Amino acid sequence: MELSSFLIQLLNGVQYGLLLFMLAAGLTLVFGIMDVVNLAHGSFYMLGAYLAYSLSSTFDSLALAIVAGAFMSVVFGLLLEWLLIRHVYQRDHLDQVLLTFGLIYIFEELRSIVWGDDVHGVKIPELFSASIPLTENMSYPIYRLFMSGICVALAIALYLLISKTRLGMKIRAGAFNRDMTEALGINIKLIHAFVFALGVGLAAVVGMIAAPVSSVYPGMGMPVLIICFVVVVIGGIGSVRGALIAALLVGLVDTFGKVLLPQVASMLVYALMAAVLLWKPEGLFKK
Amino acid sequence: MAAPMANLEVLPRSVRLTLLLGLIALAVFPYMSGPYYTEMVTRMMIMAIFAMSLDLLQGVTGLVSLGHAAFFGIAGYTLAFLTPAVEPVSLWWTLPLAVLSSALAALVIGFFVVRTKGIYFIMVTMAFAQMIYYLFFDNKVLGGSDGLYINFRPDASLFGWLPFDLENRVTLYYATLVLLVGCYLFLRSLLWSPFGRALAAIRVNEHRMCAAGFNTFGYKLTAFTLAGAMAGFAGYFYGMQTGYANPELMGFHLSAHSIMMVILGGMGNFAGAIVGAFAFEYLLHLFKELPVIGGIDFGKHWQLWMGFFIVAVVMFAPRGLLGLMDRLGRGRGPRGERHE
């Protein structure tokens, strides 16, 4: 492999990994803090992509669409948490699996009613539509760099929120000991609602910024959900740092696998997961 | 975290009586109705076998597998690979081979997944099942996204003598019924065997079982393999009935449906899985056949109704139909909630 194409694949792998990280971070936070299995996480990603498709044509600007869409999805997450999710925190994982599976059906069908079953494209904003030339016939699109930049910014914001703010302290305390935190006068219900809505918002925002590259199509949430599961299993449930390392690992293995071993590329990440399970059944960074 | 409670391991007399009446109804059903419903009930019975196999993991051992359809599909695909395009193949060696391939897949996947617990187990079973799904979906050699056709149902003849002809709809119905009853009796006796008691004890308190000197890894792996093999029986019959094997047979939706069947009936006693499978398949049929009212095709949006139904069951009847019946019968009863 030439250096320039290696560089492009490396950038692609890192960019895919960062995208996966933002998705898996929402999932692993909801797992780790509320002990809830959320199969509908992929649906929120899909919802974000469709919102980007609709809103970007309404506002004629992807940036405005992302801001409006993020706000809408957070409100939607709060509503969903209040209506359904908060009633299954104390219940068996089985009930959570079924509830969120039912939600997948509902969201998928509503998507079909509202947007139909066609594949749609979302235009890359003018500002980022150029490419950086690397060699005579190879270049790297700026929009992909922009995506990575957004993911890094979100990741830093998430880190600061969880580990440096008062709210983050309360979130961590709630995850550590729910009853004690509540006894200290902290409204844990509100905290949980916030964390769930944050997860929904993250998934939707990733769906929105990925929409111009991945296009928008029915059932797009499912493969994403499964690969996120792989990331969370490798990284260890509840560990955001683990999710980062695992997401980058999965992103690189998947990208280079497709180039170097195309016949077995779709199996490679699962093989990676199996290896981690043998070595550390609770993930690389289980606390 | 305590495991989910055992649901009616000892079936009340009312439930046993209902089951017996159900069996009689199933035995005379083909004479009472037309070919369409005979085929539908055959499919329901196949799903009941599949749901019971999952119940061994989910209800008895406390392992929630979100990838059980993989083993269902593998047996269906095995039949598709073994059936030539122009003639039928013998039932007597393809059925064991199909069940064996499902069991082998379950043994290998089980070796990795039963090390994990709780949420990890759910996610890992789902991920491995999807890996198999994509393996078949992406490879043209294995049928690709369209799957494979099974042009002939297996031939049951032994040394030139044909005891029954599976191409006949009613014969297939009774063959499935015999398998269903056989699987049920086998699982019920397994439940009360020392092996079954050990599995139930693992659900209730795995640490204590370890401390008592039981090799819980071995027990769980055996249960996982056994459940995979039985799902293989169901998958083989499904392929035989429908005449095709496609990736959907191993898909995430079927895995989730089977969990729903077990929950809907009430888990841990196998009778509930049968009731749940029949109820779920009937509802699915009902939702898909909804009429067009005022220009809106209600049947087309069956996923929406099924989604609402599943959410409603989780919110209002977490112990399923048998649990509901039992609770109404006694006027009280423990709820299916987890106690921390």
Question: Can you give the CATH number for the domain in which B140 is found?
Answer: 1.10.3470
Q: Decide if A261 touches B, using CB distance below 8 A.
A: no
Closest-CA distance of chain A to residue B34, Å: 32
Contacts of A91 in chain B (CB under 8 A): 318, 336-338
User: Does the residue B339 lie in any domain?
Assistant: no
Residues 224-243, chain A, touching B (beta carbon < 8 A): 226, 229-230, 232-233, 237
Cβ contact, residue pair A226, B138, below 8 Å: no
Q: How many CB atoms lie within 10 A of CB A100?
A: 24
Split into its structural domains, chain A has a count of 1
Domain residues for the domain of A73 are 13-126+140-219
User: Does the residue A245 lie in any domain?
Assistant: no
Q: Do B106 and B71 meet the contact criterion of CB atoms below 8 Å apart?
A: yes
CA distance A130 to A120: 21
Cβ contact, residue pair B338, A90, below 8 Å: yes
Q: Do B216 and B63 meet the contact criterion of CB atoms below 8 Å apart?
A: no
Contacts of B315 in chain A (CB under 8 A): 84, 87, 99
Name the residue among A26, A32, A29, A36 with its Cα closest to residue A94. Answer: A36
CA distance B74 to B80: 10
CA distance B258 to B65: 10
CA distance A8 to A3: 9
Q: Quote the pTM value.
A: 0.91
H helix runs in B114-168, sequence order: 118-138
Contacts of A105 in chain B (CB under 8 A): 303-304, 306-307, 310
> Which pLDDT score is estimated for B283?
94
Q: How many CB atoms lie within 10 A of CB B56?
A: 25
The residue in chain B having the minimum alpha-carbon distance to the alpha carbon of residue A103 is: B307
Residue with tokens 């929105």: A208
Cβ contact, residue pair B315, A87, below 8 Å: yes
Residue B7 has pLDDT above 70, yes or no: no
What are the tens digits of pLDDT across the range A232-284?
A: 999 988 788 889 999 999 999 999 998 888 777 778 898 898 888 888 888 88
> Which pLDDT score is estimated for B134?
87
CA distance B45 to A82: 39
Q: Do A51 and A203 meet the contact criterion of CB atoms below 8 Å apart?
A: no
> Which pLDDT score is estimated for B69?
97
What are the tens digits of pLDDT across the range A144-165?
A: 888 999 999 999 999 899 889 9
Residue with tokens 């008895």: B60
Q: How many CB pairs under 8 A join A and B?
A: 126
Would you state the structure tokens that stand for residue A93, as one six-digit string? 């994982």
Main-chain phi, psi angles of B245, to 5 degrees: -135, 120
Amino acid at B290: L
User: Does the residue B174 lie in any domain?
Assistant: yes
| pLDDT tens, per residue, chain A with 287 residues | 678 788 888 989 999 999 999 999 989 888 888 888 899 999 999 999 999 999 988 888 888 999 999 999 999 999 999 999 999 888 888 899 999 999 999 999 999 999 988 899 888 887 787 777 777 777 788 888 889 999 999 999 998 998 899 999 988 888 888 888 889 988 989 999 999 999 999 999 999 999 988 889 998 998 899 999 999 999 988 788 889 999 999 999 999 998 888 777 778 898 898 888 888 888 888 75
Cβ contact, residue pair A93, B118, below 8 Å: yes
Q: Do A50 and A115 meet the contact criterion of CB atoms below 8 Å apart?
A: yes
Closest-CA distance of chain B to residue A171, Å: 20
Would you state the structure tokens that stand for residue A15, as one six-digit string? 């960019």
Domain residues for the domain of B161 are 13-330
Cβ contact, residue pair B131, A266, below 8 Å: yes
What are the tens digits of pLDDT across the range B37-61?
A: 999 999 999 999 999 999 999 999 9
Cβ contact, residue pair B338, A278, below 8 Å: no
User: Does the residue A227 lie in any domain?
Assistant: no
Stronger pLDDT, B326 or B217, i.e. the higher one: B217
Contacts of A108 in chain B (CB under 8 A): 303
Closest-CA distance of chain A to residue B252, Å: 9
Cβ contact, residue pair B64, A102, below 8 Å: no
Q: Coil, helix or strand for B31?
A: helix
Stronger pLDDT, B266 or B261, i.e. the higher one: B261
CA distance B273 to B183: 12
Average pLDDT (B116-121) is 86
The residue in chain B having the minimum alpha-carbon distance to the alpha carbon of residue A94 is: B64
Instruction: Tally DSSP H helices, then E strands, for chain A.
Output: 11, 2
Contacts of A97 in chain B (CB under 8 A): 64, 66, 122, 256, 259
Residue with tokens 């042009």: B151
Q: Decide if A177 touches B, using CB distance below 8 A.
A: no
Residue with tokens 């112990």: B319
ipTM > 0.90, yes or no: no
- B117, B216, B257, B315: best to mutate for the A interface, most A CBs within 10 A: B315
Instruction: Give the range with max mean pLDDT: B219-228, B296-305, B317-326.
Output: B219-228
Q: Decide if A151 touches B, using CB distance below 8 A.
A: no
Contacts of B338 in chain A (CB under 8 A): 90-92
Split into its structural domains, chain B has a count of 1
Contacts of A237 in chain B (CB under 8 A): 119-120
- Percent of chain B at pLDDT > 70 equals 93
